[in-house]
Structure 1
Amino acid sequence: MRRRDILATIGSAAVWPMTGCSPNPLPRRLGVLLVYGESHPDVPVIVETLKDSLQKRGWIWGQNLIVDLRYGDGDGEKMRRQTGELLALKPDLLFAQGVVGATAVQQTNTKTPVVFIQVQDPVGGGIVASLARPGGNLTGFTNFDYTFVGKWLQLLKELSPGVTRARAIINPDYHARFSGYSTALARIGPALGIHAEATGVHDAAEIERAITTVAAQPQAGLIVLPDAVTGVYSRQIIDLAARYRLPAVFAYAAQVRMGGLAAYTTSVVQDVQQASGYIDRILRGAAVGDLPVQASERFLTMINLKTAAALGLTITPSLLAKADEVIE
């Protein structure tokens, strides 16, 4: 199904009673705030999975559920404005993607229930009070805690055993997250024989400077941490890594399918399916603050063999055996 076909189904205001429920004269309303732009390859995956998962629970988009979509392009200020737009439509619930999306919603809204996905360290970032009892009006699903730094560095070392330096890039504005990843890099790297540090990036120019600097160092590699900025600028990051023949490990599957070397990642489809369960429960009356924040359940190793060949890397049989998806 084409992206336009998927999105064209959204926004009809027809009323359709839910099977097994008392007739309701008005449809419910869901606001969706995505951190990516509309052209990002994960957007149709998220939208279609959310639509299908909610339909299985009796919520039909454009019939008994009106859905309003916004695309943030990784811009926190834009997403705060978009949150205001969505709230003006008086939704029953908001669905927010990523740290940038969840933070934008939290800063703008204290009453409307929110379900988030792909948020790192929601307690340290002040998004919820605790994982078990989030309180407030936000709950959802977290994906990568700071221990995942070890997975990404280990994968980088297995892909390119000569690597002794690694630079990780991420938006530094979310201080708890940046500090958490920086501390983990400094702690875990030496055990793998890697001097690892984080660099903050906000835009295309800063990304180019960071990667150019890394590429000038011998035996260096790149870790692309999970973030709206690194997601929005995926194409540029992948192209720069190829230009400088720099081994790079990513946090999301779409980046490997776009030509990135490898990733240790979650299943975006499963993350959205989990979130749809919470959306359904809240629409049926559950208190958002009583629903615990949960972690992603499925993790995948992905390797792009075409990219590995272009970089002159030999993928060992043992690493191939661990891969859940290989792109040839």
Structure 2
Amino acid sequence: MRRRQFIGLVGGVAALPVLPPLAVRAQQAGRQYRIAYLALLAGEDSTFAKPLLQRLEELGYRESKNMIWDYRSADGRAERLPQLAAELVRAGPDVLITGFGTLAPKAAIAATHSIPIVFTSVGDPVGAGLVASLSQPGGNVTGMSGQASDIAAKKLQFLEDLIPGKKPVAVLGNSDTPYTALALQQIKTAATAMGLPFAVLDARTVDQIPAAIDAAIRSGAASMLVLEDPVLLSAIRQTTDLAAKARLPAIYGPREYAQAGGLISYGTDQSQLSRRAAEYVDRILKGASPATLPVEQPTKFELVINLRAAKALGLEIPPNLLSLADELIE
């Protein structure tokens, strides 16, 4: 776990700090701001937090000058999030940022109802109970949604372009994640319209991923679509290696999958979401209320194709997919 600023525990459970109203904490010249970041996954400091920090610096916030950056990671161990959230809150940050998924913002909300919280990537923030609505979040929470309504249909179309003939698709997800239900609804609608058969495979822990991929092969799936989920994201290399070993072409979400050897990734440009989250932090420090800052949805997506993986699978990428790719890994 990486900590840029360490705040030690003082025995027992401390009471939540009493903070002045949001407007009173509006940005003031010459003061130093404490900005906290709570991450579930290991490595979020480079994938999620780095572009956010870069944007904060562009907006005038610099460590050791007018900003204290307090970063905590649970390193994939969700049970540690409540303790880390409590530590961050006791330090009295001006804003608390949370990383990928719903577990970190839920831990933050449980720790404070007064400190503004900005989440950087949540698939279904309304369904997860984080906000009242996308347009009017309410409470002390707002942020960035990492999904769009048509992304499932596009992923299925990419698989159909790659392996034509209405071949069965295995969909790997985690039923414990609120976003999974929404994604499966979108997939069902898109697959029905395309006449594409699919089967749903559940992996609620990393240990269940190998059995799920084995089940995909036994079911006769010709390809696999992997949903975005903190559990699955904590096992990117394992998942891509298992799919390659099973010779199962797969499409994933974040670009890190393709960079780890996965065939295709298509998903949100996370750096853009992180930069927008930084702009929300800036607006809050200048007096805006999270309750009235709408949850933003992504506008930029990335298609990354790993040509080495395609060659290993004996697949030829269609010209239309090659022309759409934002990046080709050779």
Classify the TM-score, shorter chain. 0.7 to 0.9
Q: Which amino acid aligns with 1:197?
A: A
Residue of structure 2 in register with 1:167 after alignment: 170
Q: Please name the residue that 1:11 is paired with.
A: 5
Task: Give the Å deviation of 1:219.
Answer: 4.1
What is residue 40 of structure 2 aligned with on the other side? 35
Q: Which amino acid aligns with 2:62?
A: I
Residue 94 of structure 1 and its aligned partner are, at CA, apart by 0.7
2:30 matched to 1:23? yes
How far apart are residue 162 of structure 1 and its match? 4.6
Is the CA contact (8 Å cut-off) linking 1:36 and 1:43 kept in structure 2? no
Q: Report 1:59-78 matches (<5 A).
A: 59-78=61-80
Alpha carbons 1:76, 1:104 under 8 Å: kept: no
> Secondary structure of the residue that 1:151 maps to in structure 2?
helix
User: Aligned to 1:233, which of 212, 232, 235?
Assistant: 235
Question: Which residue is 1:17 aligned to?
Answer: none
Deviation at 1:135, TM superposition (A): 0.8
Amino acid at match of 2:132: A
- Residue in structure 2 matching 1:266, options 265, 268, 276: 268
Matches within 5 A, 1:148-227: 148-162=151-165, 164-175=167-178, 177-227=179-229
In the superposition, the TM-score normalised over structure 1's length comes to: 0.88
Residue 290, structure 1, aligned to residue 292, structure 2: yes
Contact 2:35 2:68 in 1 (8 A): yes
User: For the residues of structure 2 that align with 1:236 and 1:276, how far apart are their CA atoms?
Assistant: 32
Deviations 1:85-104 (A, max 9, x none): 21121111111122222222
- Conservation of the 8 A alpha-carbon contact between 2:137 and 2:295: yes
Q: Distance in 2 between matches of 1:142 and 1:180?
A: 13
Q: Distance in 1 between matches of 2:5 and 2:207?
A: 37
Conserved in 1, the CA contact under 8 Å of 2:180 and 2:227? no
Once the two structures are TM-superposed, the CA of residue 46 in structure 1 deviates from its matched residue by 2.5
- Residue 56 to residue 12, structure 1, CA distance change in 2 (3 Å): farther
- Give every structure 1 segment of 4 or more consecutive aligned residues whose post-TM-superposition deviation is greater than 6 Å: none
Q: How many Å separate the matches in 1 of 2:315 and 2:250? A: 12
- SS state at 2:126 partner: coil
- Normalising by structure 2, we get a TM-score of 0.87
Q: State the Cα distance separating 1:115 from its structure 2 match.
A: 0.6
Letter in 1 for 2:105: A
Q: Kindly, what percent of the aligned residue pairs are identical?
A: 33
Q: SS of the residue aligned with 2:207?
A: helix
What is the CA–CA distance in structure 2 between the aligned matches of 1:79 and 1:297, rounded to whole Å? 30
Kindly state the Cα deviation for residue 12 of structure 1 after the two structures are TM-superposed: 9.3
Amino acid at match of 1:246: L
Q: Which residue of 2 aligns with 1:45?
A: 47
2: distance between equivalents of 1:321 and 1:168? 26
**How has the CA–CA distance of structure 1 residues 228 and 149 changed in structure 2, closer, same or farther, with 3 Å as cutoff?**
same
Tell me the secondary structure at the aligned position of residue 122 of structure 1.
coil
Summarize deviations over 1:282-318 as a string: whole Å, max 9, x none: 1122111111111112112111111011111111111
Count matched residues: 310
In structure 1, stretches of 5+ residues that fail to align are 14-19
Q: Which residue of 2 aligns with 1:147?
A: 150
Whole-Å separation in 1 of the counterparts to 2:222 and 2:45 = 32
Contact 1:51 1:61 in 2 (8 A): no
The alpha-carbon distance between structure 1 residues 310 and 291, as it changes in their structure 2 partners (threshold 3 A), is: same
Within a 5 Å distance, the mapping from 1:40-119 to structure 2 comes to 43-97=45-99, 98-119=101-122
Unaligned stretches of 5+ residues in structure 2: 8-26
Alignment RMSD (CA, Å)? 2.2
Question: Which secondary structure does the structure 2 equivalent of 1:112 belong to?
Answer: coil
- Determine whether 1:128 maps to 2:131: yes
Distance (Å, rounded) in 2 between the aligned partners of 1:317 and 1:214? 28
